[in-house]
A and B are shown apart, each in its own frame.
Chain A
Amino acid sequence: MAILTRADGTPDWRRRTPKADLLVWAGWFGAVALTVACFQFISDRTIWPFVWDAPAQGADLIGRMFPPRWSYASQLWKPLLDTINMATIGTALAIVIGVPLAFLAAHNTTPSRLVVRPVVLFIIVASRSINSLIWALILVIILGPGILAGIMAIALRSVGFIAKLLYEAIEEIDATQVEAVTATGASRPQVLGWAIVPQVMPAFAGISVFRWDINIREATVLGLVGAGGIGMQMQASINVLAWPQVTTIFVLILGTVLVSEWLSARVRHAVI
């Protein structure tokens, strides 16, 4: 917002000063230029004839995907159950590890701001930076292919997520309630249990269910690198180009994800 003075001395209103105006335009120009340059880079690495062929390819793909091979579904119930188990057990494991980490990381509950907090924050960031698929890739090498690697991959990725959101919630609690409980002569663990836990309980429930919902989605693809679940069947079907089977898998995933999303929305609604 700027009030300028015109040549004849009368005041004039502009949204920005000319200099700020120029900066904003330069910013937009820079952003567009960067995007175009980046696109150029991608374009150089793209075989465009393939792309022009994409509509035909897409139509062809869809043609081959339909009708879905429903009979294949009977072989999918076990992998689907495995997928849900991976997500659920992985989330539970992540909660068990992540909750103590959150209390160690929050600056109002950490036992030591100088040593413990930075170490825990680093663990949280490392866990969050690495996608569960990459965790799975590593764990399959260590633990061998199968559902255990999947559970651990889900858990390792979720620890950081849960701990980060939870420690932020702990840092936002009302300090006077903590003060009041401290003033009754409560010990530190009692203050934690009576003043802090009740305040973060809704956030905790919401975060856990939210992550479980995300994990259902993630668990569906971990099989691509051999970490168990329905992704293994997907990988196998794609490898032999059995597209009608892939469609069946997609439909099952879609159904599972919708149910889990509905469930998680219900639980989150109930606790708030």
Chain B
Amino acid sequence: MSATHFDAAAAARAWRPPPLIETPWLRYAVYLGALAYALVAFSTIEVNWTRAAEGVERAGRFLSGFFPPDFVTKGDDILAGLLESLTMTVVSTGIGIILSIPVALGASRNLAPLPVYLFCRGIIAISRTFQEIIIAIVFVAMVGFGPLAGTLTLAFATIGFMAKLIAEDIEDIQASQAEAVRATGSSWFQLLAWGVLPQVRPRLIGLSAYRLDINFRESAVLGLVGAGGIGDTLNTSFDRYEFDTAAAVLIVIIVIVLACEYASGYIRRQVQ
């Protein structure tokens, strides 16, 4: 097809396999940076290897302490912790979702004026930056030990999570649909109900189900700082070296997480 003579041999000599990163200076910067970091990281880690080596033998004893799991001896404690975790999950998810909706609306650039937008984005940033445990420490200091602190923590985390993802979805809606609704002379709330909500609903439901799942998982650790839930039971059993009970608690957590995951997966498949 080409009119001029094409030198395939020369082209083949010049050809190199494409590198992973296109720009040469960036490529070498990344390689050097990774190498430098690896050196720094491994030279600064202090690991007590003799203690770690003992770990193998300890692990054996520890794991044998796990078997057989004992559901019975502390059955009441496990049940109470579980019930606490579940109630915390339900209440925090409910409150969190309700509160996250206005924040999500405020954090959507296509709906909210700039000051409101910045304020809502600020709430989201704070809620997402800190690990749930840190928030729980603060809430425990404020309202005392118990499931209420855990519930507030999870609700707060839910707001950041839901509002961020819903706001992204709202910003991605088809402007033409919202415009068509506005063209009918609708009010702002009607615009939300007819132009925005139908487009975001599947995501809203899917994320709610997903968050329910996450909240249960998180509720299982908040007990470590006294914020209630099955984590309390777990922590106590570790403290008392009742590893067979700890194993039972872990199994209960895995089973419920599995059930939650299956259920939330089912709900998400249904709405999509």
Chain A residues with a Cβ under 8 A of chain B: 31, 34-35, 38-39, 41-43, 45-47, 50-51, 54, 57-58, 61, 78, 81-82, 85, 88-89, 125-126, 128-131, 133-134, 137-138, 141-144, 146-148, 217-218, 220-221, 224-225, 234, 238, 250, 253-254, 257-258
Instruction: Among B143, B147, B225, B253, find the residue whose CB has the most chain A CB atoms closer than 10 A.
Output: B143
Complex Cα gap A54–B143 (Å): 5
Of B52, B88, B217, which is within 8 A of A131 by CB? Answer: B217
Query: Taking the nearest CB of chain A, how far is it from the CB of B139, in angstroms?
Result: 9
B151 at the interface (CB under 8 A from A): yes
B187 at the interface (CB under 8 A from A): no
Complex Cα gap A82–B44 (Å): 8
Interface contact A45-B147, CB-CB below 8 Å: yes
Interface contact B94-A31, CB-CB below 8 Å: yes
Interface pick from B5-13, B67-75, B128-136: B128-136
Please give me the residue from chain A that is nearest to B94 by CB atom. A35
Please give me the residue from chain A that is nearest to B225 by CB atom. A224
Complex Cα gap A89–B44 (Å): 12
Interface contact B51-A144, CB-CB below 8 Å: yes
Complex Cα gap A143–B57 (Å): 10
Q: Report chain B residues within 8 Å CB of A45.
A: 84, 146-148, 228
Interface contact A218-B146, CB-CB below 8 Å: no
Interface contact A88-B37, CB-CB below 8 Å: yes
Q: Report chain A residues within 8 Å CB of B37.
A: 88
CB-CB contacts of B173-210 with A at 8 A, as 1s and 0s?
A: 00000000000000000000000000000000000000
Interface contact B90-A34, CB-CB below 8 Å: yes
Identify 6 new A-B residue pairs, CB closer than 8 A, beyond the known A134-B234, A144-B54, A250-B130. A57-B143, A81-B40, A125-B258, A220-B131, A221-B133, A221-B134
Please give me the residue from chain A that is nearest to B84 by CB atom. A45
Interface contact B130-A253, CB-CB below 8 Å: yes
Interface contact A51-B143, CB-CB below 8 Å: yes
Query: Taking the nearest CB of chain B, how far is it from the CB of A134, in angstroms?
Result: 6
Query: Taking the nearest CB of chain B, how far is it from the CB of A268, in angstroms?
Result: 14
Interface contact A81-B44, CB-CB below 8 Å: yes
Q: Report chain A residues within 8 Å CB of B133.
A: 133, 221, 224
B119 at the interface (CB under 8 A from A): no
Q: Report chain B residues within 8 Å CB of A78.
A: 44
Query: Taking the nearest CB of chain A, how far is it from the CB of B239, in angstroms?
Result: 10
Please give me the residue from chain A that is nearest to B21 by CB atom. A270
Chain B residues with a Cβ under 8 A of chain A: 37, 40-41, 44-48, 51-52, 54-55, 58-59, 62, 83-84, 86-88, 90-91, 94, 125, 129-131, 133-134, 137-138, 141-144, 146-148, 151, 217-218, 220-221, 224-225, 228, 231, 234-235, 238, 250, 253-254, 257-258, 261
Instruction: Among A43, A81, A148, find the residue whose CB has the most chain B CB atoms closer than 10 A.
Output: A148
Please give me the residue from chain A that is nearest to B89 by CB atom. A38
Q: Report chain A residues within 8 Å CB of B234.
A: 134, 137
Q: Report chain B residues within 8 Å CB of A41.
A: 83-84, 87
Complex Cα gap A207–B182 (Å): 39
Of A43, A58, A148, A258, which is within 8 A of B52 by CB? Answer: A148
Query: Taking the nearest CB of chain B, how far is it from the CB of A136, in angstroms?
Result: 10
Complex Cα gap A89–B238 (Å): 27
Please give me the residue from chain B that is nearest to A133 by CB atom. B221
**Sampled A-B contacts (23; CB under 8 Å):** A38-B87, A39-B91, A42-B148, A45-B84, A46-B143, A47-B146, A51-B144, A57-B141, A128-B257, A130-B253, A137-B224, A137-B235, A142-B55, A143-B52, A143-B55, A144-B48, A148-B48, A217-B129, A217-B130, A221-B131, A250-B130, A254-B129, A257-B130
Complex Cα gap A89–B42 (Å): 9
Interface contact B253-A129, CB-CB below 8 Å: yes
Instruction: Among A31, A38, A47, A89, find the residue whose CB has the most chain B CB atoms closer than 10 A.
Output: A38
Known: A41-B83, A141-B238. A58 touches B142 (CB 8 A): yes
Query: Taking the nearest CB of chain A, how far is it from the CB of B154, in angstroms?
Result: 11
Query: Taking the nearest CB of chain B, how far is it from the CB of A183, in angstroms?
Result: 23
Query: Taking the nearest CB of chain A, how far is it from the CB of B217, in angstroms?
Result: 6
Of A34, A42, A250, which is within 8 A of B134 by CB? Answer: A250
Please give me the residue from chain B that is nearest to A134 by CB atom. B221
Query: Taking the nearest CB of chain B, how far is it from the CB of A10, in angstroms?
Result: 25
